[in-house]
Amino acid sequence: MASRIVVKVGSSSISGANAGQIGPLVDALAAAYARGAEVVLVSSGAIATGMPYLKLEERPTDLATQQAAASVGQNLLVFRYQNSLDRYGIVAGQVLLTAGDLENPSHRQNAQRAMERLLGLRILPIVNENDTVATHEIRFGDNDRLAALVSELVGAELLVLLSDVDALYTKPPHLPGAERIAVVPQGDALEGIEIGSTGSAGVGTGGAETKISAARVAAASGTAVLITATSLVAEALAGRDVGTWFEPAEDRHTAEGSLAAS
């Protein structure tokens, strides 16, 4: 079992009608924590969580309103996580990052130092993009990419990218003949594979393409990656045969320039 794990969950999985999935997600994280693993959660959902309080029915398109929704939603989102973590006596630490933080060597080092200290203190870091100050020019674009870079930052052995689909398939899973891709060898270009988008329109920004791109970034740095459904997170963290596994490169490294290159 991996000793240092990053888990990424998207907006559509823990907001709106799916807000109840926070409890089972925390159950799975707590089980890994109890086994001695160091766990980092990268969670989207601040904007989606804040939207109802701004009386918004759809995700705002202008940056200022996104920032306002994130400001309200981030506080509520972490509160909901902590309320669930209290059942296990686990304390969460909030970490908000921008793309610029991981491009700037000094900021990157500070973020790395803080994360290491949190993990050493057995605090569960909850990471999100700092939407209230991020601009269109420096945004990660989606938290799958952020999760891959956080995995590099902390030297994670495993990155679990959660979705509303249980794995990658040879064609969109609702089509006849679609077959699960169990393993993606290092460097496999997945040629001939029809990748359908995942995620709920109007809430999240990610999809299958962003997950594959993020998985390749993390795997190239030496972190194994598993893509699976949020409903299967407990099985994923217990080492069951679920989802799609991206084999990691043999040589582990932290690519300082990966943000600009990816």
43 is in an annotated binding site: no
pTM of the model: 0.89
Strands 244-246 and 224-229: antiparallel
Is the distance from CB of 159 to CB of 227 less than 8 angstroms?
Answer: no
List the one residue out of 204, 92, 81, 99 whose CA is nearest residue 148.
99
Return d(Cα 31, Cα 155) in angstroms, integer: 21
130 is in an annotated binding site: no
More confident residue, 50 or 254: 50
- pLDDT, tens only, 78-126: 999 999 999 999 999 999 988 778 888 999 999 999 999 999 999 999 9
12 is in an annotated binding site: no
221 is in an annotated binding site: no
143 is in an annotated binding site: yes
Return d(Cα 183, Cα 168) in angstroms, integer: 10
- pLDDT, tens only, 28-61: 999 999 999 999 999 988 989 999 999 999 988 8
Q: Which CATH architecture has domain 4-261?
A: 3-Layer(aba) Sandwich (3.40)
Split at pLDDT 50, 70, 90, the class of 194 is low
